[in-house]
Structure 1
Amino acid sequence: MYEKTFPEKRFNHTLAFLKKHISTNETILDLGVENPFSKIMIGAGFSVSNTSGEDLDKDQSGLQKTTDVVTAFEIFEHLLNPYTILQEIKADKLFISIPMRLWFSPAYRSKTDMWDRHYHEFEDWQLDWLLEKTGWKIIDSEKWTNPVKKFGLRPLLRRFTNRYYIVYAEKIK
């Protein structure tokens, strides 16, 4: 089974959540360039294509592909304008996962990579509201923790505080 080979807990949760709601017969457009998780989805039997690396805040042409499902795993926190992107999605099914905002840790900001920064770190209700305002109905959601093997107050809090949030939503017609 694939789950035992994944390097990260969130990949296990994400793949199990995806399998719970869609079949491998459905086509997936994964927002962002090919990445380790898009390869995992392909390895699990899903038909996956990715956007081409365009700046989705400025150019939503990659969202015009005909597909059954759109996935946005760990990407919405990097976008300045997720509202527009959610409105432009043509598929009827959507999966989004995000790192949740933590009260004890500031938003992530890489000092060496100008693209690897979190503009948004949502609380669950904020993502839910954004989906509702852009015409999506949440069908299912889950949260989970992400403990780290370090000592200190923040690592201790990570054992009990949900870090990731995943949502399956369908377009309201």
Structure 2
Amino acid sequence: MYEKTFPNKRFKLTLQFLRKHIDKTTSILDLGVENPFSKIMISDGYSVKNTSGEDLDDNQSAIENSSADVVTAFEIFEHLLSPYEVLKSIKAEKIVVSVPLKLWFASAYRSKTDMRDRHYHEFEDWQLDWLLEKTGWIIKDRQKWTNPVNKLGFRPILRRFTPRYYIVYAEKASNINS
């Protein structure tokens, strides 16, 4: 299914990473409203519930009241002012997070028409790692990939070699020694 959707490389690699770490018998709370990738997870056999579009900076009740086994956050933390609060509120024992990486040759994404569609954070890998560790998560696996575009120019060439996406699988620190 993802082969016919944009961005197919990111969806394909994200699904491979998810399959590697998360069993299809577990329930997933996917942060953010239903989206193309949550539909891909469902069509692949995962049991997925999304949050309802509430501002997760101000209201973590959907996370706090969730009994999901796993929380996924695919390209959402960069839109939040305080991903720290969201990560601290998660009760699930496992998390899969992906973020766009900060690129030295491109400024942070900002939609000129949609005030909600902006990146407050674009992480370097160590920053996401530190955020996860500081909020009680132990990183078990990570992966990066590029986002090449079929255009001519200096930036498109750099995009072929510079990782753009970073994905992490982590478990709650309290769960490790249990």
**TM-score bracket relative to the smaller structure:** over 0.9
Q: Is the 8 A contact 2:2 2:40 kept in 1?
A: no
Return the alpha-carbon distance in structure 2 between the equivalents of residues 105 and 24 of structure 1.
Answer: 37
Structure 1 stretches lacking a partner, 5+ long: none
Distance 1:99 1:170 in 2: 21
Q: Which residue of 2 aligns with 1:129?
A: 130
For residue 21 of structure 1, what is the aligned residue in structure 2?
21
1:67 corresponds in structure 2 to 68
1:104 alignment partner, SS class: coil
- Which residue of 2 is the match for residue 58 of structure 1? 58
TM-score of the pair, normalised by structure 2: 0.95
Query: In structure 1, what is the equivalent of residue 141 of structure 2?
Result: 140
1:6/1:12 contact within 8 Å kept? no
2:111 corresponding residue in structure 1: 110
Contact 1:99–1:165 (CA<8 Å) still a contact in 2? yes
Distance 1:38 1:169 in 2: 19
1:110-150 deviation per Cα after TM superposition (whole angstroms, max 9, x unaligned):
10000000000000000000000000000000000000011
Q: Distance in 2 between matches of 1:110 and 1:85?
A: 23
List runs of 5+ in structure 2 lacking aligned partners: none
Q: Which whole-Å CA distance do the structure 2 matches of 1:6 and 1:167 have between them?
A: 23
4+ residue runs of structure 1 moved beyond 4 angstroms?
none
Per the normalisation by structure 1, the TM-score is 0.97
1:163 alignment counterpart? 164
**Identity across the alignment (%):** 69
Count of residue pairs brought into register by the alignment: 172
CA distance in 1, matches of 2:130, 2:59: 24
Corresponding residue SS for 2:163: coil
Q: 1:138, 1:26 → 2: CA distance? A: 19
Which residue in the other structure is 1:82 paired with?
83
Structure 1, residues 26-82: CA drift from partner, whole Å, max 9, x if none?
000000010000000000000000001100000000102101000000100000000
Question: Secondary structure, in 3 states, of the residue corresponding to 1:105?
Answer: coil
SS class of match (1:163) = strand
What does 1:10-49 correspond to in 2, within 5 Å?
A: 10-49=10-49
Shift of 1:22: 1.2
SS at match of 1:9: helix
**Residues 27 and 46 in structure 1, CA contact (< 8 A), matched pair in contact too:** yes
Query: How many Å separate the matches in 2 of 1:122 and 1:17?
Result: 19
Partners of 2:51 and 2:22 lie apart in 1 by 20
